Amino acid sequence: MSSKIFLALLVFTCIYSCYAQQGSVVEALTAYNKWREENGKVYSSEAEKIYRQSVFLENYQSVQEHNKNSNHTYSVGINQFSDITLQEYQQRILMKNSPLNELAKNKNRLLQSSPIQNSNDTQIASSIDWRKKGGVSPVKNQGECGGCWTFSATGLMESFNLIHNKPQNVSLYSQQQLLDCVTLENGYFSEGCEGGVPSDAVQYAADFGVLSDNEYPYTGIQGQCNITSKTNGFQPVQFSYLDGTAEGLRKALNYGPVSVAMDASNMKEYTSGVFNNCTSKQFNLNHAVLAVGYDEEGNWIIKNSKGPNWGMEGYFLLAPGNTCGILELDFQITA
């Protein structure tokens, strides 16, 4: 803890001198106190509290700087992750140990079922947004667990059910069942909060069924698989990986939402606009989400699992094409 205090003092001193010049240290501290109250933050020790405040102030400053630059196509802001560092975010909230990179390299193995059969007949709209057609369930929150892959899978199943079975009420499926039961021991590639494969989760649901969120509620901690039956609720019949092209994803989105993997390393503070900040072509596929459409400019409309207060009411836009690796591992439920 002593190195943490030292670091905190160091950062704090720097921030004080930086802000002193601009005379905005009071503004930053006011913002911090307001944020801490609104987010109900309680820290385990005084040292931790000082350290977290210094991290917040640093983030606060970089947010202001980013938004001042009119070249940026997206805005950032203070949100629930503002007292953790980018590195902590990548370790705790994204998939620390993502199996998706290895899978993307061996994609041919996944293409057991061929790309969408009826694609030649599909009319491609100039834009599509399944939220406007009642085809998307409410935004959920994965909390501090890299279980995004279970949310991508439940979001996909919920949308498929809404669009194709037209139920009276929205059904919400259990991420926790997927987190607990879709494991290496049970023959899948997934490892709970460390990371997993959305299509594993859909395959599991096809094999065993998935209960409702109410019946098997979310804790965000991987536990014992508490399932004995093989018919537990919703059971998709078939899914297909797409061909990896933007045209393929557009076609598929005209049929319904699509589960996508991406590199979300730099998305911690996104608030609105078109995200495009993936610097390398060597994507780290550390996040799984749900594409629910595209706009007239070709930006992908994506549902996240960080709650409705993150981004644009829980959603974000990604620049057209293979931005952040979005075309690497797309798949869709077809029956």
Catalytic residues: 148, 287, 304
To ligand NAG, the closest distance from the beta carbon of 207 in angstroms equals: 19
User: Which residue type sits at 12?
Assistant: F
Tell me which residue has its CB nearest to ligand NAG. Answer: 266
Asked whether 201 and 195 are in contact (CB, 8 A), the reply is no
* DSSP, residue by residue, 2-50: HHHHHHHHHHHHHHHHHHHHHT-HHHHHHHHHHHHHHTT---SSHHHHH
**Residue of 182, 204, 207 lying closest to 192 (CA atoms):** 182
Please, which residue, 30 or 117, has the CB nearer to ligand NAG?
117
List, in sequence order, every residue forming a beta bridge with 290; answer none if it has no partner.
Answer: 259, 303
Please, which residue, 48 or 273, has the CB nearer to ligand NAG?
273
User: Which residue type sits at 149?
Assistant: W
Please, which residue, 213 or 293, has the CB nearer to ligand NAG?
213
Q: Which residues bind ligand NAG (CB under 6 A)?
A: 69, 71-72, 86, 117, 120, 168-169, 224, 226, 266, 277
To ligand NAG, the closest distance from the beta carbon of 58 in angstroms equals: 11
The alpha carbons of the chain give a radius of gyration, in whole angstroms, of: 21
What is the rounded CA–CA span in Å between residue 290 and residue 151?
9
To ligand NAG, the closest distance from the beta carbon of 211 in angstroms equals: 10
Please, which residue, 24 or 266, has the CB nearer to ligand NAG?
266
To ligand NAG, the closest distance from the beta carbon of 47 in angstroms equals: 26
What is the rounded CA–CA span in Å between residue 64 and residue 75?
10
